[in-house]
Amino acid sequence: MTSSPNLLVELFVEELPPKALKKLGEAFAQVLLAQLRAQGLAGDASQLTAYASPRRLAAHITDVLPRAADKQVSQKLMPVTVGLTADGQATPALLKKLAALGADAAAVPQLKRAPDGKAEALFYDSTVAGATLAEGLQKALTEAIAKLPIPKVMTYQLENNCELPGWSSVQFVRPAHGLVALHGSQVLESIEALGLKAGNTTHGHRFEALADPVLIANADSYAQTLAEQGAVIASFDERKATIARQLKEAAERVGGGVRAIEDEALLDEVTALVERPNVLVCQFEKEFLDVPQECLILTMKANQKYFPLLDAAGKLTHQFLVVSNITPADASAVIGGNERVVRPRLADAKFFFDQDRKKTLESRASLLAKVVYHNKLGTQGERVQRVRAIAKSIAQQLGATALGKQVDQAALLAKTDLVTDMVGEFPELQGTMGRYYALNDKLDVAVADAIEDHYKPRFAGDELPRGEVGVIVALADKLETLVGMFGIGNLPTGDRDPFALRRHALGVIRMLVEKDLPLDLDTLLVSTLPAFGDKIEDATPALSDFIYDRLAGSLREQGFSAQEVDAVLAHRPQRLADVQKRLEAVRAFAALPEAPALAAANKRVGNILKKADAPVSPNVSEAVLQEQAEKDLYAALQTVAPKANAQFAAGDYTASLQTLAALRTPVDAFFEHVMVNAEDPALKANRLGLLATLHDAMNRVADLSRLVAA
């Protein structure tokens, strides 16, 4: 089977926003392909290649038909009783409907009758001509432009309005200056977009292109022609790979085991800034290395888009890499220019660092009273006092009163770097600079570490605080945010979470679990309330639900099934560090042959107890037992329950559940031979008490009824 020619579409524009370029390129290409497939112009075998450079979005699609195949369609017209008279003649309504479809009364004999619900309807079969590529591509291109995830739209004047009377401007992410549409070597001249008509020429590198404009002979020569004649690597992924390779090679040329800092977001951004990358080695004065390397790295990455070089120990060196967009024979001017540009940035960082160290963190604490935190929760100064009170309470609950002085000092000073010059310039360094300044003030290392670590974990997968002081202050800080925001009704909704409450909740969960802290969740939440006085309402029940929801989601992401998670969290275990062990026990129990029957019986027991006239106490009188099956179940419980309870108390949840498997036979016999709702009230109450005893014994680790398939 002969394949159809390939298609190339390119929009040539002014410099696109670098942080959005990758998404723009992918979205443009994918919508084009999807629309062409929907119209039958491209098939499942058609391959897509997306291109995105600072000044272009393009897509190459293989095997695109010049015209889609005709389609046979069957259209429902109306019920037979509406379209035809009693003697089978067409009604005016039917004739009008046919006329709208381009048919007349001659088509009536060919109409089909078919059931449609309770009535019979008339259907009209016709052939719909397939779309031409010109028609289909125009629709697809319009859709692709409309669906671009544009961060901010620009309105600009068209270059030539005489051909578009009445229009003087157009909206797009950046002004567009060229449109290429090639089907094989054929130019699709009828295609228009953003006031532009399609052609077969584009533009290459601003300074290094060998020709301008660049003629694209056919769709398949696009990338090669741009590379050879336009000095442009059109593919985002290819440019990114080229930069990564050049960074590695440049670091190897420097020698000494240095390596460029790894930063995927920076690599993507730089890839979106250059069309023909050329990595160069630059350097700065070694005296700047006296400044904390986090400051220097941040200013080089954020402000200059440079790649700092680290030595084998991970320490910053005085050299860095620049990804230039030009490749001159003598790069000394480019290198010198970048070195001159970075020097004032590093000098500013050094100035901020030197100035900040002239005042102690403690002397800055009072300045937080002037920094607004939230209009309903007061200033950062008030917040600090709440964190101190909460941290003290947590330390008492943990029995860590010996750390009280360090915990209080760390909580007092944790936010003070917010009023330093360095953090004012680089907010990303909050906590990090606090640690440096604390060490400069000769404070305990544990306090300094806690000042930096109290923000941790900052994101999924981030490390936890290093020491016990840091864990306590980090917990206090996150709980202050959670309890305070819930207490004023400032809750996350949908995808809006401006105070990162979901992240704070996961941070609390991770610390409680991974640090194996002996803290009961609800007690912990309630103990934070006194720190707020009358500023908030008690919303700890809602917050508790919120935290368990986050925990459930996290556990499912770790591979536990929804049934397993529901079974364990149904009892709201207060020690979150126990949840993992309970889940593993439930999983082991579910693998036992007795598990399905016991889970089903447990669900049945729960339903019976719910339907009882009054709450049932797990009290059983052996003298009242009548049937052998209930006596056997009672005897089994006397043996099994104490053993399972002892194992539960020892934290051996797996053994506890496996011990309960021995109840399968007496439980089955009980339900087969015993009527719970006996006519004798005393007998009925005793049997309900027996079931309540069974229910309590079986559900200490988890609600086993949740393991029953819905």
Domain boundaries, the chain: 7-67+132-229, 71-128, 236-356, 376-559, 578-707
Q: Which residue has the higher pLDDT, 565 or 114?
A: 565
Give the global pTM. 0.81
The span from the CA of 210 to the CA of 322, in Å, is: 24
- 239, 192, 149, 148: which is closest to 9 by C-alpha? 192
Chain segment 517-569, per-residue pLDDT in tens? 999 999 999 999 999 999 999 999 999 999 999 999 999 999 999 999 999 99
Q: Which tokens is 101 given?
A: 């479809």
pLDDT at 339: 96
Which amino acid appears at position 617 of this protein?
S
> What's phi and psi for 17, nearest 5 deg?
-60, 120
pLDDT at 163: 52
Provide DSSP, 146-209. Answer: HT---SS-EEEE-S--TTSTT--EEEESS-EEEEEEEETTEE-TT-EETTEE-BSEE---TTT-
DSSP H or E run through 7: strand 7-13
CB 454 within 8 A of CB 474: yes
In the block, residue with structure tokens 């305070």: 484
pLDDT at 159: 65
Is residue 353 pLDDT above 60, yes or no? yes
Q: What is the mean pLDDT of residues 498-521?
A: 95
Using DSSP bridges, classify how beta strands 192-193 and 186-187 pair: parallel, antiparallel or unpaired: unpaired
Is residue 165 pLDDT above 80, yes or no? no
- Yes or no: is domain 376-559 CATH 1.10.3210? yes
Whether a cis peptide bond, with omega within 30° of 0, leads into 165 is no
Mean pLDDT for the chain overall? 92
Is residue 161 pLDDT above 60, yes or no? no
Lowest mean pLDDT among 31-45, 84-98, 238-252, 270-284: 84-98
Is residue 662 pLDDT above 70, yes or no? yes
Chain segment 436-454, per-residue pLDDT in tens? 999 999 999 999 999 999 9
Which residue(s) pair with 178 in the sheet? 12
The span from the CA of 136 to the CA of 69, in Å, is: 12
CATH of 578-707, one of 1.10.3470, 3.30.310, 3.40.50, 1.10.730: 1.10.730
DSSP H or E run through 234: none
Handedness of CA 206, 209, 212, 214 (dihedral sign): negative
Chain segment 676-704, per-residue pLDDT in tens? 888 888 898 888 888 889 899 889 999 98
Is residue 127 pLDDT above 80, yes or no? no
Which amino acid appears at position 654 of this protein?
T
Provide DSSP, 442-485. Answer: T--HHHHHHHHHTT---STTPPPPSSHHHHHHHHHHHHHHHHHH
Task: Give the percent of the chain with pLDDT over 70.
Answer: 98
The span from the CA of 250 to the CA of 278, in Å, is: 10
Task: Please work out, in degrees rounded to the nearest 5, the angle formed at the alpha carbon of residue 270 by the alpha carbons of 266 and 276.
Answer: 155
CB 321 within 8 A of CB 309: yes
Q: 165, exposed or middle or buried, with CB in 10 Å at 0-12, 13-18, 19+? A: exposed
Q: Around Cβ 592, how many Cβ atoms within 10 Å?
A: 15
Q: Which tokens is 299 given?
A: 């200013």
3-state secondary structure of 374: strand
Q: Which tokens is 458 given?
A: 């900052």
Is residue 166 pLDDT above 70, yes or no? no
Is residue 82 pLDDT above 90, yes or no? no
Alpha-carbon distance values, 216 to 47, 180, 186, 691 (Å): 20, 9, 11, 82
Chain segment 171-229, per-residue pLDDT in tens? 898 999 999 999 999 999 999 999 899 999 999 999 999 999 999 999 999 999 999 99
Q: Which tokens is 281 given?
A: 């080695």
Is residue 20 pLDDT above 90, yes or no? yes
pLDDT at 1: 47
Is residue 160 pLDDT above 70, yes or no? no
Q: What is the mean pLDDT of residues 154-164?
A: 67
3-state secondary structure of 12: strand
Lowest mean pLDDT among 152-156, 388-392, 525-529: 152-156
Contacts of 30 (CB under 8 A, 6+ apart): 48, 50
Q: Which tokens is 459 given?
A: 């994101």
DSSP letter for 616, please: P
The span from the CA of 188 to the CA of 58, in Å, is: 15
Q: Which tokens is 184 given?
A: 């094989």
The span from the CA of 558 to the CA of 480, in Å, is: 28
Q: What is the mean pLDDT of residues 328-347?
A: 95
Chain segment 364-384, per-residue pLDDT in tens? 999 999 999 999 999 999 999
pLDDT at 167: 55
Q: Which tokens is 159 given?
A: 């270059």
The span from the CA of 477 to the CA of 387, in Å, is: 6
Q: Which tokens is 72 given?
A: 């046979």
